[in-house]
Amino acid sequence: MTNRDRLLGLTVVLLWGLNFLAIRVGLDHFPPFFFAGLRFAVLAVPALLFIPRPPVRMRWILLYGTGFGILQFAFLFTAMRVGMPTGLASLVLQSSAPFTVALGTLLLRERIRPVQIAGLVVAVAGMAVIGWDRLEHATLLPVLLTLAGGLGWAFGNIGARLAGTESTGVNPLHLMLWTTAIPPLPFFALSAFAEGPITGLHALADSFSLAGLPALAALAYIAVVATVVGTGLWTVLMSRYPAGMVAPFSLLVPVVGIAAAWAFLRETPTLMSLVGGGVVITGAFAATVNTPRAARANVAAPAATAALVGVSRPGQPEH
């Protein structure tokens, strides 16, 4: 990999890591389900108007959009709204990578190597450490919700994997953009039922004020910078190099997320959470990055990490 492309990879890491700050700012203003619907609607309208439909069956687009869009962000945004620290959320969401490997083995009959099994065990142990720490210091619910978001993302990766194997002519970025049309209506309906029929609309109207500008800026960052720019750069790298060479960059996203949360939100993670996080990252790396052949066989797995931000590639990308 050239130094220029390494710099592109680190740029993606920075964009996706800072995306969690944008999510926090948005959730401080918008109710979570409405914010999630708005986040996808911003991209869905231009995608449906200007992007040709990918040459794959609609069922895979629906699976991708439901897992990556609806399940991931419904659980993640709710977790952060009810107390999941921003930096820790960026780390726990990495569970999507080992979840993807496990689902690929169970549902797609993909071969799993001994080192991947070991990685899954290590990642689960790290999640248990984080869960125990949160249970002692606060509540376990936000961690469980974030893990559920990681599992939802993993199902989205399976949809992306199936779409990619069905047609070799699929443009990863076009596929991801088309999946943004799936979540808005379910999220807006869920928001009307759970958050109130006009709560989100009032928050949207209030965002067009001086006090609401940070929320609008956060929405623009998530939709344009983290998703379109970040995913676009990631797609370029995935087209040039094997997945196993690119995927490790995504495991650096929590480093940026935790550092940014500490610098801007004064979130100080406990030592046990950091240790558990390091264990999760180690396990995720082992589970998703193996030999080049294994990396190709599990091309959708590293993508899980990318979506932190809201992207997913069918050969990944988010995070």
Question: CA 276, CA 63: separation in Å to the nearest integer?
Answer: 31
The answer to whether the pTM exceeds 0.75 is yes
Q: What is the pLDDT of residue 298?
A: 39
Q: Which amino acid is at 209?
A: S
Q: What six digits make up the tokens of 302?
A: 């590293």
Pinpoint the alpha helices (H) of 197-291.
199-207, 213-220, 230-240, 243-250, 253-265, 271-288
67 within some domain: yes
Let me know if 241 is exposed, middle or buried by CB neighbors in 10 A (0-12, 13-18, 19+). Answer: middle
Tokens of 86: 């921003």
Q: Is residue 277 part of a domain?
A: yes
Per-residue pLDDT of the chain (319 residues), as tens digits, is: 788 888 988 898 899 999 999 999 999 999 999 999 999 999 999 999 999 998 889 999 999 999 989 999 999 999 999 888 888 888 888 788 788 888 888 888 878 778 878 877 887 888 788 777 777 766 788 889 999 999 998 898 888 888 877 766 778 888 888 999 999 999 999 999 999 999 999 999 999 988 889 999 999 999 999 988 988 888 788 767 766 567 667 778 888 888 888 888 888 877 887 888 788 778 777 766 654 444 443 343 334 334 333 333 333 444 4
Phi-psi map region of 66: left, alpha, beta (phi>0 left; psi -120 to 50 alpha) = alpha
b/e sequence 194-224, b meaning 16+ C-beta within 10 Å: ebeeebbeebbeebeeeebeebbebbebbbe
Matching residue, tokens 């969401």: 93
CA 287 to chain centre: 17
Is residue 65 within 8 A of residue 180, CB to CB? The reply is yes
**62: in domain:** yes
Residue 316 lies in a domain: no
For residues 34 and 78, the answer to whether their CB atoms sit within 8 Å is no
* Residue 319 domain flag: no
Q: 238 lies in a domain?
A: yes
pLDDT of residue 152: 93
Which residues form the domain of 69?
A: 3-309
318 three-class SS: coil
pLDDT at residue 162, as a whole number: 85
CA distance 311 to 47: 14
Q: Please give the tally of structural domains in the chain.
A: 1
∠ CA(239), CA(243), CA(249), 5° rounding? 100
Q: Which residues contact 72 (CB under 8 A, 6 or more apart)?
A: 96, 149, 150, 152, 153, 156, 307
Per-residue pLDDT tens for 101-124? 888 888 888 787 788 788 778 878
Alpha carbon 195 to chain centroid distance? Answer: 24
pLDDT at res. 289: 61
CA–CA dist 26, 145 (Å, integer): 18
Residue 315 lies inside a defined structural domain of this protein: no
